[in-house]
Structure 1
Amino acid sequence: VGGLENVVTPPYDIISEEQQKQYYEKHPNNVIRLEYGAEYETDSESDNRYTRAAAFLRTWIDDGILKFEDKECLYLYEQQFSFLGQELTYRGFVTLTQLEEFSKGIILPHEETLSKAKTDRFNLMEATHANFSQIYCLYMDESGDIRSMMEQITKKPADISFTAENDILQNVWIIRDDDMIASIQKKFADKQLFIADGHHRYETALNFRNKMREENPGWKEDDLFNYVMMMLVDMDDPGLVVFPTHRLVNHVKIDEVMAISLLKDDFDIDKIIVDTKPSMLSEAIAKDLVALKEKKGFAVYFGGEYYYRLSLHDASVMDQYLPEKSSAYRNLDVTILHTLVLDKIYGINTEDLKNQKNLTYTRDPLEAIEAVQNGTQQCAFLLNATKVREIKDVSLAGEKMPQKSTYFYPKLITGIVMNKF
């Protein structure tokens, strides 16, 4: 296939239709055909993106394009990237991890999911019996023992090394030594895992496991459908970067004047005049958001040369609205936005959020501002990123954040390691 950069992609859920076409054209063996195949008007029950993915997978295995390891391995996966002028690295182990119900408290979610995405992923798993991408999970390494193991492994040159999009260096070490594998397994034996990215795929894997168990009454613990491929990353890895996901509101009856009037009940509001240039607005808002980190607040843009900075009068107001929730959940910026603004003022409730009614998302502040300026969106709410420790605290409280509360960067590359079962 030439270089691996020709045949890998980012995760399916951030690939646009145009990018999908580009990956198809990039190489005939690009993993896009497996993970996120094209749909056609002529698709039928017997010929569709899922059946085609299964056919490509069989052919590529038969032709030796995809090869199985000779023995069971673990993988250490590392990404090196630039962020805000800094050179950062983060690492994790790619493993098969036993699926557990959330109620057991071993593997914990932090975000709500959408049923449409789960149906799509289930259909793909049912057709292919494979994981093409890893579920991204965090763990706590208080002793630093796992970090030390990683340092030991990475002293040797990587087995796989290539540069993917955005000049992000991808390194993979294949761990074949049985003693090292056993040591790593032992260190993770009693770890809680927090799902950072891949909630839909995890719930899909659980549903598929349950279906397979029903169909196979004599199932055994080591049947591969009881496991799912994961990337396990230290929660305190200095290379972890979380972006905010901004909210764009559309097709609502509340205009700017009315919204600002209603927002005054709960927020201190400052009107900041900047410029109509999206880049200047974005830069000014970004600086303001840094200052808002210790308070509870965000920015809102309705168009023009100005935006509003909103900071919560009194955090205890959230106790009245969500008395049944933990303080970790109540104090999230995204919870405050959803409760006191989207629901209370715009009437966008939990059901609307699930159906993505009146609301869209972007992690790009420039895109948010431009969407308001060109009239496709009425207003944009721009937020600070959720902190990794906030994710842990909400998960431990047994709660889930609103959808699209986090965006981990860089995303794991799809297609380097796959799991066929």
Structure 2
Amino acid sequence: MPKLSPLHVVRYAADGNADAGSADLSSKIAPPYDVLDAGPKAELLAKDAHNIVAVDLPVTPPKTVGPDAAYAEAGALYRQLLSDGVLTRDDQPGVVVYEQAYELNGQTVRRRGLFAGVGVEEFNQPHGIFRHEMTIAGGIGDRTKLMEATSAQLSPIFGIFPDPKKVAVQLLNDICESSDPDYHGTTANDGVAHRCWLVHDPATLDTLSAFFRETDVFIADGHHRYTTALQFAKDHPDLPGAGSCLFVLVAAEDPGMIVLPTHRVVCGLQEFMWSELEAILGADDRCTLGGDPAQTRFALFDPVSGDTVGLETHGDVLAEAFPDKPEVWRTLDVAVLHEWLIQRVLRPSFGGEGEAGGVTFKYTADLDEMKQLAAEEDPAGARLGVVMRGTPLESVMAVSRANEVMPPKSTYFYPKLATGLVINPLD
């Protein structure tokens, strides 16, 4: 079971002073490393040479493994920032309550959680840490080298936990609503406001520790970083902090805990005609094409006519093909799309050569961008847009508990966490 542990938090000091006060760290923080590249990194450093990307993104593009010298330089810079007082380390262990405020559909939304250490363990143990996606070796190699060079975890894993009685939710709300944050910042790329409260009170820490001893934690984002931390703990059993991994933990019941959809553009369809697809789907009693796109499983966008048409399936259309998969996986929108509509309808009729049938995908969370991408001329064949619904959080947790992983781009947890608000020292 995951063990919550306080941290000797490393954070940016206010104007080089050890007391953060109500410091504005906007110029120091950044989006997660894996959504950046050389251009955005340079822009952040042009505004502030001490921005966290100077350490957290030693190699671009992200998830690629660079030369040892790049990581050694990042480690040396991290230690220099500590020595110079740009970064400061709290003597007293604690956690950091974290609020993100953002605009969505014209409304201000707040999501509250906490930065804390969580004891690393293998995935999917009872009252443990669960995953919903696979990892690739390259991403793990890069993070391993950086952790070795810095002896620190620079960016947090995003974890979700169930809190039906709202025990932790109420505690976090009380802290956020009873005082001003100790430090804050705004990420320029998305306009999200990030606010942090340092918590050292032993009674509060005990309450949180007791709560998490009986609580599952589901990784929303950061599977590579967690896998890296797990291996690092195995490789460094004598390092005091190696068994603890930096998390931001947010309750599934928090009103700001939102999963947005990731829309698709299906590319490379050969001799594709919308009228032929309509005829194929119209003759299939497993589905109905038509109806309100907002009320169906997903909707298809025809870039030629500009029409968006709802598509609903009937029953468990993947039961025969995947009898060994749990029903919660077989009935995911993304699984039905990729394993039924694309694999068993589109590819046999409009696919090309090769194992993938010539079909490729583009992904975007922006509906207008999806339509634009679908309408662009495609020399490899026609394009078809797919409007998705957000995957319910309950489904993410149920698939994880069933020890399954979800198809790629099944979830888009918005907004992203900021890097640079809390660093977890491992030495």
Q: Please give the TM-score of this superposition, normalised by the length of structure 1.
A: 0.84
Residue 119 (structure 1) aligned with residue 141 (structure 2): yes
Contiguous gaps of at least 5 residues in structure 1: 214-218, 273-287
Stretch deviating more after TM superposition (92-101 or 102-111): 102-111
Q: Would you say the 8 A contact 1:20–1:38 is kept in 2?
A: no
State whether residues 98 and 228 of structure 1, in contact with CA within 8 Å, keep that contact through their aligned partners in structure 2. yes
Matched, 1:177 2:201: yes
The answer to whether the 8 Å contact 2:161/2:250 transfers is yes
- For 1:54 and 1:352, how far apart are their aligned partners in 2? 43
Q: Identify which of 240, 244, 250 aligns with 2:267.
A: 250
1:110-139: CA deviations, max 9, x gaps? 223333323332232233222111111111
Change (3 A) 1:8 1:108: same
The answer (yes or no) to whether the contact 2:66–2:142 under 8 Å persists in 1 is no
What amino acid sits opposite 2:396 in the alignment? I
Between the aligned partners of 1:368 and 1:299, the Cα distance in structure 2 is 12
**Farther-moved stretch of structure 1 (226-235 vs 97-106):** 97-106
Provide, for residues 291-345 of structure 1, a one-character-per-residue CA deviation record: whole Å limited to 9, x for no partner.
22xxxx2123342232342423422222112211112111110110111123323
Q: 2:347 maps to what in 1?
A: 346
Q: Does 1:156 align with 2:161?
A: no
Alpha-carbon offset, residue 190 of structure 1: 1.3
What is the aligned partner in structure 1 of residue 10 from structure 2?
A: none
CA change 1:254–1:22 in 2 (3 A) is farther
- Equivalent residues in 2 for 1:91-110 (5 A)? 91-105=112-126, 106-110=128-132
- Matched position secondary structure for 2:318: helix
- Counterparts of 1:361 and 1:311, CA distance in 2: 19
**Does 1:13 pair with 2:34?**
yes
Which amino acid in 1 is paired with 2:207?
A: S
Q: Distance in 2 between matches of 1:37 and 1:307?
A: 45
1:118–1:38 CA distance, 2 compared to 1 (3 A) = closer
Unaligned 5+ runs, structure 2: 1-13, 16-23
**Is the CA contact 1:135–1:195 (under 8 Å) kept in the aligned structure 2?**
yes
1:200 has 2:204 as partner:
no
| 1:216 aligned residue | none
Matching residue of 1:130: 152
Match of 1:383 among 378, 388, 394: 388
> Quick one: structure 1 residues 300 and 124, their matched pair in 2 at CA, closer, same or farther if it must change by over 3 Å?
farther
Q: Which moved more, 1:140-149 or 1:65-74?
A: 140-149
Amino acid in the other structure paired with 1:66 = L
Alpha carbons 2:59, 2:66 under 8 Å: kept: no
Deviates more, 1:404-413 or 1:302-311: 302-311
Checking the alignment, whether the CA contact within 8 Å between 2:294 and 2:310 is kept in structure 1 is no
Alpha-carbon separation, structure 1, partners of 2:157 and 2:278: 40
Give the equivalent residue in structure 2 for 1:396.
401
Cα contact 2:293–2:310 (8 A) shared by 1:
no
Matches within 5 A, 1:26-41: 26-39=47-60
Change (3 A) 1:36 1:182: same
Deviates more, 1:372-381 or 1:336-345: 372-381
Task: State the distance in 2 between where 1:302 and 1:55 align.
Answer: 53
The yes-or-no answer on 1:315 pairing with 2:349 is no
State whether residues 96 and 229 of structure 1, in contact with CA within 8 Å, keep that contact through their aligned partners in structure 2: yes
Partner residue of 2:6? none
C-alpha contact 2:144 2:228 (8 A) present in aligned 1: yes
1:164 partner letter: T
1:267 aligned partner: 287
| Counterpart residue identity of residue 358, structure 1 | T
Query: For residue 212 of structure 2, what is the amino acid of its counterpart?
Result: F
Letter of the aligned partner of 2:148 in structure 1? E
Matched, 1:45 2:73: no
Displacement of 1:263 after TM fit?
A: 4.5
Secondary structure of 2:385's counterpart equals strand
* 1:291 equivalent in structure 2: 295
Distance 1:363 1:159 in 2: 33
Distance (whole Å) between structure 2 residues aligned to residue 87 and residue 327 of structure 1 = 36
CA distance in 2, matches of 1:326, 1:183: 36
Identify the match of residue 56 of structure 1 among 77, 101, 105.
77
Aligned to 2:373: 371
Could you tell me whether the CA contact under 8 Å between 1:113 and 1:403 is conserved in 2?
A: no
* TM-score normalised by length of structure 2: 0.83
- Residues 307/201 of structure 1: CA separation in 2 closer, same or farther (3 Å cut): farther
- Aligned match for 1:232, one of 228, 249, 266: 249
Q: 1:143 aligns with which of 138, 161, 165?
A: 165
Q: Distance in 2 between matches of 1:142 and 1:313?
A: 32
Distance 1:361 1:208 in 2: 32
Judge conservation of contact 1:111–1:405 (CA < 8 Å) in 2: no
Aligned to 2:7: none
Letter in 1 for 2:69: D
The structure whose residues are more often helix, as a share, is 1
The CA distance in 2 between the partners of 1:267 and 1:320, in whole Å, is 16
Q: State the alpha-carbon separation in 2 of the partners of residues 310 and 112 from structure 1.
A: 31
CA contact (8 A) 1:90 1:240 kept: yes
Preserved CA contact (<8 Å) 1:263 1:341: no
Instruction: Return the letter of the residue paired with 1:319.
Output: A
Q: How big is the shift at 1:361?
A: 1.9
Q: What is the rounded CA distance, in whole Å, between the counterparts of 2:78 and 2:270 in structure 1?
A: 49
What is the alpha-carbon distance in structure 1 between the residues aligned to residue 233 and residue 46 of structure 2? Answer: 34
Q: Report if the CA contact (8 A) 2:56-2:154 is conserved.
A: yes
Contact 1:245 1:361 in 2 (8 A): yes
SS of the residue aligned with 1:179?
helix
Q: CA deviation at 1:65?
A: 0.8
Q: Distance in 2 between matches of 1:102 and 1:129?
A: 23
Residues 369, 175 of structure 1: CA spacing in aligned structure 2 closer, same or farther, 3 A cutoff? Answer: same
